[in-house]
Chains A and B, each alone.
Chain A
């Protein structure tokens, strides 16, 4: 740590009324109903990881069924019980419920709340130089609403008619009519209630993040000096505020249709020998409302991961992120475009083909800022001094899967090509790589990188390496062959493919995919072991283990309420002055140290950049 950086922090005097002396904290105010953003971040992370474990376990269960259809497995009997796995054979209800809840949990509970909830809470105050979030209380409410919605979602697994099983997109009428599928009974009601609470949680959180970033930046922290993590989290929060309310309205209308006899989404339905009274609604309306959130949602998932990656790649390359302004511009462009591309999920929904053309156009536009980001990451690595910490490996892995998955988006975003691969395994391969695996890599990268900040200890790097390499091979092993299965026209959400002998020759590939999936899932246990044991027995962290420039590393290792013991540090530069040379190019700006933290004033022998 540089002497100068320390001096700036230590200079501060105890002039702060609120944070100088602490109230005595009880166990409950410190660990449970905490209003401290660092504790709330940990709560989000741990809840997210638990939900993630459940979500991944579900995927393994249904992958086993796809690979060995209708065979008996003890593991089914154990997890699903006699009713859903009679004699150990998974039944179709259970299969559809598993894919539905897997999707819901992974998209919302792990990759939205677990990823952006964790890192927005942890990093926004620390990296902008704030004592805490604008409203600690709302922040606490946000976590507890998330907790309640998680509990409701999990409780729906235990209701008699089974959990929601109409797919995570819950298109009515299937999701509206218990006559159509058993999961649309109590299970669906709980799903909707859980999601409504989840949305409230997300909105409260997002508003808090936006207000905090706009108002609580420390002295000198202009918007153009913000680390890219903050830009990404800030823009993510804005997208959330714009789009989540629309899903709430869709959920409320669906609740009305289900329980109060309205006909927003239902019309002309004959089911179980009876004509329903509903008249005049349209499921296509629901699809529009759903995807108006649903598409921005994938950027809500991926942008924080990209922000985390930007920070980690720059730090570990010992280089400034290449094209900071272009990176910010791409984040903004992606955010804007993300709200006008939802129709590409609906090319064959029966909407006007002209609309399809418009959405093809906007969708393919979004490839441009995404490409710029990918190229900038690669250029950041170029001529760097790469420190291969586990966080760095996951960040490089993210760029790799983001490219692989993003490229197939060019096929799916093209309305013409979508016709024949729509809703096939090609789509599954695409979105799992581009937002599922990529965002998970972002989550892992963030955990490895900021673990010292969260828990004051280091995670074991060798276990991190094992975790990364097995996951990297496994993830491609699962999702690369899946494209080809989709190309064969195999639809998603099929309980078994044996009713179409045409698909018989895909069976071996499906087995291969499942084997890779099982291995990949198992290696996550290494991560969990590493995570838990490092919390208690990890090596004690130093104040700035990765020699990073951002403000969070100027806080003491032991957490204190208010983050900095003295005054909040002032900021004099952007966060990417890595390996910057002095004007004579004889040495680094600070001799012998290849980084200049943000709180170090401009040096005499230093050229000023416009940041």
Chain B
């Protein structure tokens, strides 16, 4: 997680400074905004495990997010299960869903755009299923009862929610860094760079990719539960919709896929841009999306390795060979 250049250090410091400043801003707007951004950052970190390190571009990461959220909601609403157990169940359900998708798609050798389309299809199938069955609330969705307390994982004071979310994001980033620096991470990166070569070197690519999907699914499921506990209401479009899948991949792509800080930096940057555009153009709803899109296109065109990749080229303590991966 150590920055390799002055540029990266500045980016990371800016992100941390912003996250800390929320405690002192005493603004409900920024608090609400930051809570949402952090939940999306967890989904982005989830996508980063497979998309960033493994080169497995998913267009349907909402499938893990939604499965985690629904698993927890169904247990809490239909069976009165404690929210903390719901949290664990959501993480496990996300991991199982990830592993399942990985197992069947990689078994049939799907990769690249085929893999992306299959994940998209899975998310859509799950959306339709969730809106069809009675136990998932059908089209009306599921609503967790408002009952603030530690045991219900609901907090009246949003500063507490924010602190916990920050800790979760930090934990996910630490796990990502540990994974990246482990033998497993090296295998995954090797698969991203050249899967045939990795297999030729004796790496069980199928197993590694399925495990990566399971880890990614666990993070995605966790994000889904965090959303549920924040909003206390989910329906199929909200958690399995395309918007989540797009947000999951856009943060890492802008911030720097395959880096530890990239998804957080990208997600925060994009959300701040969107919020800034909204305030700047408050009299013309919708125009903020145009500005957002223009900046996004420019970023994708001129920053192919994301903000972290760009920042790696700035500053005195750069190590050229580690530019892309060491943050």
Tell me whether A and B are bound partners. no
Instruction: Name B's A-contacting residues (CB within 8 A).
Output: none
Instruction: Name A's B-contacting residues (CB within 8 A).
Output: none
